[in-house]
Structure 1
Amino acid sequence: MSGLALNARFGSPDQIETLVAIEGVVAQQMALHVEKRRLWFPNDLMPADANLDAAADAELARIRDAARGLPDTVRVAIALNLLTEEGLPHFHRLIAVHLGNSTPWSDWNNLWTAEEDRHGCALRDYVRDARLFDMGALEKLQYRYIEAGFNPDWEQDPYRLLAYTSLQEKATQISHANAGRLCSAIEPMAQKVLAHLASDESRHYQFYRAVFGAILERDPNRALQSLLKVTLNFAMPGHAIRGYDDMSEVVRRAGVFCASQYKEIVEELLDFWKIGVMTNLSAAGREAQEKLMKVPTRLARMADFQNAKTAARDFHFDFIFGRAIRL
């Protein structure tokens, strides 16, 4: 038996057996991921080499000048995306403790972490060079977020980790892509950086979606119950950031990410995994299946409620020098 069974800290014996059984799928999906990707680096986007010439200096001056036109709603979205990306240490730890330190799980965790690490680096390079924020205030937020930790109540269930990452990677892809689109006509480099991040998140989403699909095939009843718990209680990883509620509300009102978009993600995954037509389930599995199929309607009602109760108000954030955002 794989070393995972000995090294995994979290999961019931049946879950660990399933994780061992799908190791071939993990290795196959990782190989497919590497084959499809085009590896890039932050310096490809915002070069900082010692021998850069006057043209590079002129481009940096252009970026800074154009970035002054980015509205504060977009700045908040970029700040939240950056802070979320820089929470990477929390996720590397969560994957390691839920899935163990043996291959191919650790191989994926290390590869995924290396790719994700570029996201925070690239976005930080951009916001620093473009002079978007009070960087001291933003850095304090980032420090407090890492210090606070991210400890979702998954009850040591490795299936919930993989269900969560399936949802979260797609949500992050949408957030980066939409923030980038809001930048494109004002400062195209911001859109270029965010598009690179979104493209990576799309491929990571495909990996986690495929792996959780393999779990559904092998252990459907437990997997459906885990998926239901995560889907009903989904929260983006940055929710431990001080001021997160206000930041996410600005992002929602600006159309970067909201309940309607989360509903679309849930619908896409329910359809991809063919949740509605699964058969030969236990009573608990059928109950979870029925509740999962009702989640999109519940999310639609939530979105309608949020929109109906939204009233104009002011938002203030230290990282944009306390300026008022009226939405």
Structure 2
Amino acid sequence: MGSAPGLKLEKTAQVEVLASMDAFVRAEMEAHRERRNLWFPNELVPADADLPGSWDESLREVRAAARDLPDVVRVAVALNLLTEEGLPHFHRLIAVYFGEHSAWSDWNNMWTAEEDRHGCALRDYVRDARLFNMGELERQQYAYIEAGFDPEWEQDPYRLLAYTSLQEKATQLSHANTGRMAAGCENLLQRVLAHLAGDESRHYVFYRSMFGEIINRDPDRALVSLQKVVSNFSMPGHRIAGFDDMSEVVRRADIFGARQYQRIVEECLAHWEVDKLTGLSASGAEAQEKLLKVPARLERMADYVASKEKPKTFRFAFAYNREIVI
């Protein structure tokens, strides 16, 4: 373990690397603006005062179709919505780790504005579709926001960027896979989730590019930070009440779990060409070796869990405590 002065020097060096990336960050922000589709929730689930009467009929059809959505889809939508509405935690984390008056803070503000639409659109949908016991869901949301979110990253800004690279891809897959399960039953939900997944995909590209540049500029520290995040990754809503049961339903439904996470890790490691890095320090080489073993370990864990798994019953207050067997 490094001494306090040693850790302080490490953080100073990291801050200097991040400050040196200002022009790179701004160039990637501009590329992101060119890629994005700046949609708004009202375009998906309209609520204008002068809507034509046909929307009332469409809404009745949506509600009727939503009644047939599988309860595993409801659980996934609830978890996705609660996670999206944890946005204040993540804006704060980025602001704390990267400060203000820089390209990083400009990105944080733009990213937050884009992400804010996700919770709005999904909440508009579930309210209009009458998907949940909303009072129960709102209590969960309030408790999650009140509980806070302070990951043990030891003020390491590299870990924040490693985490967001993994998390944005994970959220994209969760939205996309949930949408595919809803398709053919209730198409408006699939459309809303497709818009969210598209945004998450573009955010993933940005953060993956940022961390790749950090590897280029500071490979040893970058790999050490990445290894700590990859080996202890958890989705951002892990402090939601009932998160473990909700996550298990989502995993059993093959929406998101260890197998999907394994593919994300493999994709990121390949993109960053971690296996090809040379000239590393002892700590960097050790982190590299551990990182390259993670996908195989995740596969073994997933295979073991699948071999022991038996049907299990779940109940959730937001889903009216109906019995869900999966």
> Shorter-chain TM-score category?
over 0.9
Show the counterpart of 2:62: 63
Give 1:1-327 correspondences, 5 Å limit: 12-327=11-326
Give the CA deviation at 1:211: 0.5
- Counterpart residue identity of residue 251, structure 1: V
CA distance in 2, matches of 1:313, 1:56: 40
Is the contact made by 1:11 and 1:156 (CA closer than 8 Å) also made in structure 2? no
- Counterpart residue identity of residue 85, structure 1: E
Residue deviations 1:2-54 (CA, integer Å, cap 9, x gap): xxxxxxx9971100110011111111111000011111000000000000121
CA distance in 2, matches of 1:86, 1:204: 17
SS in 2 for 1:163: helix
Give the CA deviation at 1:306: 1.5
SS in 1 for 2:92: helix
CA distance in 2, matches of 1:308, 1:90: 37
CA distance in 2, matches of 1:11, 1:139: 42
CA distance in 1, matches of 2:185, 2:9: 47
Is the contact made by 1:180 and 1:191 (CA closer than 8 Å) also made in structure 2? yes
SS in 1 for 2:152: coil
SS in 1 for 2:324: strand
- Counterpart residue identity of residue 266, structure 1: V
Residue-pair matches, total: 319
CA distance in 2, matches of 1:80, 1:26: 31
CA distance in 1, matches of 2:111, 2:27: 15
- Counterpart residue identity of residue 224, structure 1: L
- TM-score under structure 1 length normalisation: 0.96
Give the CA deviation at 1:312: 1.2
CA distance in 1, matches of 2:188, 2:9: 42
SS in 2 for 1:111: helix
Give the CA deviation at 1:152: 0.6
Show the counterpart of 2:3: none
Is the contact made by 1:220 and 1:285 (CA closer than 8 Å) also made in structure 2? yes
Residue deviations 1:151-185 (CA, integer Å, cap 9, x gap): 11001000000000000000000000000000011
Is the contact made by 1:232 and 1:295 (CA closer than 8 Å) also made in structure 2? yes
SS in 1 for 2:150: coil
CA-based RMSD of the aligned residues comes to 1.1
Show the counterpart of 1:3: none
SS in 2 for 1:242: coil
Residue deviations 1:77-126 (CA, integer Å, cap 9, x gap): 00000000000000000000011112201100000000000000000000
Unaligned segments of structure 2, at least 5 residues: 1-7
Is the contact made by 1:160 and 1:230 (CA closer than 8 Å) also made in structure 2? yes
CA distance in 1, matches of 2:45, 2:9: 40
SS in 1 for 2:238: helix
Instruction: Identify which range, 302-311 or 164-173, moves more after superposition.
Output: 302-311
